[in-house]
Amino acid sequence: MVGIYPDMGSIEGGEFVHFVGEGFTNHTDPEYYKCRFTPATLQLPPKETFVEFLNTTTIRCPAPGGWPEGDEMTVSITQNGIDYDENHFIYSYYSVHRAFPRSGPSDGKAGAIVVSGQGFRPNAGPLCRLNGTESKPVSVTHDTIRCAVPPAEGGKDYYGNVDFAITPNGNSWYPFDGGYQYYEQPLVEDIDPKMGPSDGYGIVNFYGDNFRADYPLAELGCKIGGAKGKAIYISER
């Protein structure tokens, strides 16, 4: 055996891990032809799945699911139920928690969509897909994937939902229900009052045009300096 692909999948499991090499056979008792996933840091016992013979250079097995969080696994094969290979191939699990924000102005001048989770790797080939167009992430860390938001194809006045999905491993897509909501950029003309007590007690009113909160992915907020707070919709102005 010389390698595996893909080397990363969701904690939900089910993705086939392919082993490539030579000399594979289908003359092994299926009861003993096993694939074992051993966690590196999770204090849990290994999990085994069956091996499927494809040809003399490729076999595969489904990655088991049910892990509480992302982790690296040592993946090994046995043909007799006792002796496992010592190649120490590494397969890592990722988990997707949420994406924020899920809406933005149609002119494309919003910040990136931040997808949070665990086990992301820049070298695993992650991609973002918005409105059917795939693109590389702005940045990738162990727990975040940042996706750029281009202008809406319908123009700066477009209002509506488009599909949004990511693939942490360049293979399996994770779609977000409701996709991403484009809206016309609101206009902020004034705020009142412009000062208040340092303990944060009080209300700031924003005045302008095109304010709205009539869609499921709306999450109104405001920010004073670096402090963020929730906002409440009153009217379009």
Q: What is the pLDDT of residues 2-59, one digit of tens each?
A: 999 999 999 999 999 999 999 998 888 888 999 999 999 889 999 999 999 999 999 9
Indicate if 45 and 118 belong to the same structural domain: no
Asked, as a colleague might, if the bond just before 30 is cis with ω within 30 of 0, I would say no
Looking at 162, 183, 204, which one is the last position of a domain?
183
Indicate if 146 and 206 belong to the same structural domain: no
Indicate if 109 and 27 belong to the same structural domain: no
Span 6-20, pLDDT tens digits: 999 999 999 999 999
Indicate if 176 and 206 belong to the same structural domain: no
Q: Tell me, yes or no, whether 64 lies in a domain.
A: yes
CATH of the domain at 30: 2.60.40.10
For residue 124, the SS3 value is helix
134 contact partners, CB below 8 Å, separation of at least 6:
127, 128
pTM to 2 decimal places: 0.78
Strand partners, 230: 221
Six token digits for residue 234: 């009153």
Indicate if 200 and 125 belong to the same structural domain: no
Span 176-215, pLDDT tens digits: 999 999 998 889 999 999 998 888 778 999 999 999 888 8
Indicate if 67 and 140 belong to the same structural domain: no
The closest of 27, 31, 9, 28 to 18, measured between CA atoms, is 9
Q: Tell me, yes or no, whether 159 lies in a domain.
A: yes
Between CA 130 and CA 167, with CA 170 as vertex, the angle to 5 degrees is 45
161 contact partners, CB below 8 Å, separation of at least 6:
178, 179, 180, 181, 182, 215, 217
**Mean pLDDT over residues 58-71, rounded?**
93
| 103-105 and 180-183 strand pairing | parallel
Domain count, the chain: 3
Torsion over CA: 16, 19, 20, 22 (sign): negative
The yes-or-no verdict on residue 228 having pLDDT over 90 is no
Asked, as a colleague might, if the bond just before 45 is cis with ω within 30 of 0, I would say no
The closest of 61, 55, 48 to 21, measured between CA atoms, is 55
Q: Which domain holds residue 219?
A: 187-230
Q: Tell me, yes or no, whether 41 lies in a domain.
A: yes
Six token digits for residue 43: 């204090």
Looking at 93, 116, 138, which one is the last position of a domain?
93
Give percent above pLDDT 90 in the chain: 71
Query: In the β-sheet with 103-105, what is the strand arrangement from edge to edge?
Result: 103-105, 180-183, 160-162
CA 166/CA 42 separation, integer angstroms: 26
Alpha carbon of residue 163 to chain centroid: 14
Residues in the chain, overall count = 237
Indicate if 169 and 223 belong to the same structural domain: no
CA 228/CA 234 separation, integer angstroms: 19
Strand partners, 146: 114, 139
Indicate if 25 and 59 belong to the same structural domain: yes
Indicate if 197 and 172 belong to the same structural domain: no
Looking at 59, 93, 127, which one is the last position of a domain?
93
